[in-house]
């Protein structure tokens, strides 16, 4: 008999509880400071590496934890319940950068980068541009083949997560715009490569400690050995990686919603009005109950997609889209209701729900807007004529 989706094995429970304790002890005291400064604490980043959270799926032979994708989802969920800005940093590292390197990297590339990604090297996934958001492959960033066999990159990327901290960038550029998606190629670009520099850091509504920057290329020359996968196959890397990346974003938003609900429920038990806790009033009970139900439904979708991905052979594109879409909606609703439960206290920065409310909005936008998720779900569920 199969186990329920949300049943955690003994090892998964130990892992989840260790991350939950770490998040409360080490991340929670820094949340307000990092949000105000719009910057991740460097010491915290070192702790994330020391805890093994930046290389969860990297094999032990390369210095990683050798754990599952589901374990990465658990980590992102628990961290995001405390600070979604830290959660997305861990998510991008594991579900986009490390996942791409493990699936498409050559033996030499994996030997060069996986141990560093597990120990000290932050990665970034550079796809978006000014003219290519939902139309992800309308890229203008060019990669020009040189006589000696190297490539020169020219152009700009926008909205790049982890850009301020990253030492390695997975950069998607086109060999020829006339080729459309067939010209897209993925390059491994290190931060100190001549002709590459990190540009403006965005001043954001939410997840402010997570860096989001422009990156620029001006005759940035990389060797042919820096190609991840094959020339012209970058679109395949992007599509397959983002499919599982959406599960990670679903986990981030699930964690956000769970964190907001916990704050609301705790406050409702402590806050006294008319001589008793507001949690004793039926209207408040019903509101908290509905929030709990939606959080659990989001968890079922996210865990189902994550476990499907770990089977190795199952197609999980539809499930990933559903998980990301629904978790983003639940995160926004739950955070908003949490602010209302706390009343005036929820509207000030002294309480965490104000920040969670701001953090939630990005969930409907990045790694595929809600409309793109709906289009994917429709394509995969509605029978053709």
Q: Is 367 a catalytic site residue?
A: yes
Count the Cβ atoms, other than its own, within 10 Å of residue 232.
Answer: 17
The β-bridge partners of 273 are 276
Side-chain-side CA neighbours of 307 within 13 Å: the count stands at 15
Q: Are 349 and 32 in contact (CB under 8 A)?
A: yes
Question: Which three-class secondary structure state does DSSP give residue 49?
Answer: helix
Gap between the Cα atoms of 95 and 309, Å rounded: 11
Contact by Cβ (8 Å): 49, 104: no
What are the CA-CA distances from residue 21 to residues 9, 54, 62, 83, 95 (Å)? 18, 17, 26, 13, 22
Pair 57, 309: CB distance under 8 Å: no
Backbone angles phi, psi at 39, to 5 degrees: -155, 135
Orientation angle between helical segments 69-80 and 234-270, nearest 10 degrees: 40
Integer Cα distance of 215 and 195 in angstroms: 11
CA distance 80 to 65: 20
- Report whether 163 contacts 215 (CB < 8 A): yes
Q: Tokens representing 105? A: 């990297």
Query: CB-based burial of residue 342 (10 Å sphere; 0-12 exposed, 13-18 middle, 19+ buried)?
Result: buried
- The DSSP result for 56-120, as a single string, is SSS-GGGTS----HHHHHHHHHHHHTT-HHHHHHHHIIIIIIIHHHHHH--HHHHHHHHHHHHHT
What is the spatial distance between Cα 310 and Cα 231, in angstroms, rounded to a whole number?
28
Query: Which member of 77, 78, 294, 367 is catalytic?
Result: 367
| Catalytic positions | 367
């Amino acid at each position: 008999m199969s186990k329920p989706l949300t049943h955690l094995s003994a090892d998964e429970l130990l892992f989840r509880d260790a991350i939950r304790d770490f998040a409360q002890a080490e991340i929670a005291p820094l949340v307000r400071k990092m949000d105000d400064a719009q910057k991740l604490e460097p010491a915290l980043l070192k702790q994330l590496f020391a805890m093994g959270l930046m290389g969860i799926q990297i094999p032990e032979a390369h210095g990683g934890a050798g754990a599952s994708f589901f374990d990465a989802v658990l980590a992102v969920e628990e961290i995001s319940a405390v600070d979604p800005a830290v959660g997305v940093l861990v998510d991008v590292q594991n579900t986009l950068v490390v996942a791409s390197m493990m699936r498409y990297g050559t033996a030499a590339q994996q030997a060069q980068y996986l141990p560093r990604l597990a120990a000290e090297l932050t990665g970034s996934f550079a796809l978006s541009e000014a003219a290519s958001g939902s139309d992800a492959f309308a890229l203008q960033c060019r990669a020009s083949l040189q006589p000696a066999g190297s490539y020169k990159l020219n152009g700009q990327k926008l909205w790049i997560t982890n850009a301020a901290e990253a030492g390695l960038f997975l950069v998607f550029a086109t060999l020829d715009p006339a080729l459309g998606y067939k010209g897209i190629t993925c390059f491994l670009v290190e931060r100190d490569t001549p002709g590459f520099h990190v540009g403006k850091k965005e001043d954001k509504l939410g997840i402010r400690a997570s860096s989001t920057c422009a990156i620029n290329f001006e005759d940035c020359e990389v060797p042919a050995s820096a190609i991840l996968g094959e020339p012209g196959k970058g679109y395949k890397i992007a599509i397959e990686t983002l499919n599982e990346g959406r599960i990670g974003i679903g986990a981030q938003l699930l964690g956000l919603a769970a964190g907001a609900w916990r704050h609301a429920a705790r406050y409702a038990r402590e806050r006294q009005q008319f001589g008793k806790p507001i949690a004793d009033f039926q209207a408040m009970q019903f509101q908290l109950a509905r929030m709990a139900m939606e959080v659990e439904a989001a968890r079922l979708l996210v865990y189902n997609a994550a476990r499907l991905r770990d089977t190795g052979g199952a197609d999980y594109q539809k499930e990933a889209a559903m998980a990301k879409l629904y978790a983003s909606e639940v995160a926004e609703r739950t955070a908003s209701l949490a602010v209302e439960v706390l009343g005036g206290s929820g509207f000030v920065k002294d309480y965490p729900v104000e920040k969670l409310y701001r953090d939630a909005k990005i969930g409907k936008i990045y790694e595929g807007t809600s409309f793109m998720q709906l289009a994917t779900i429709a394509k995969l569920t509605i029978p053709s004529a």
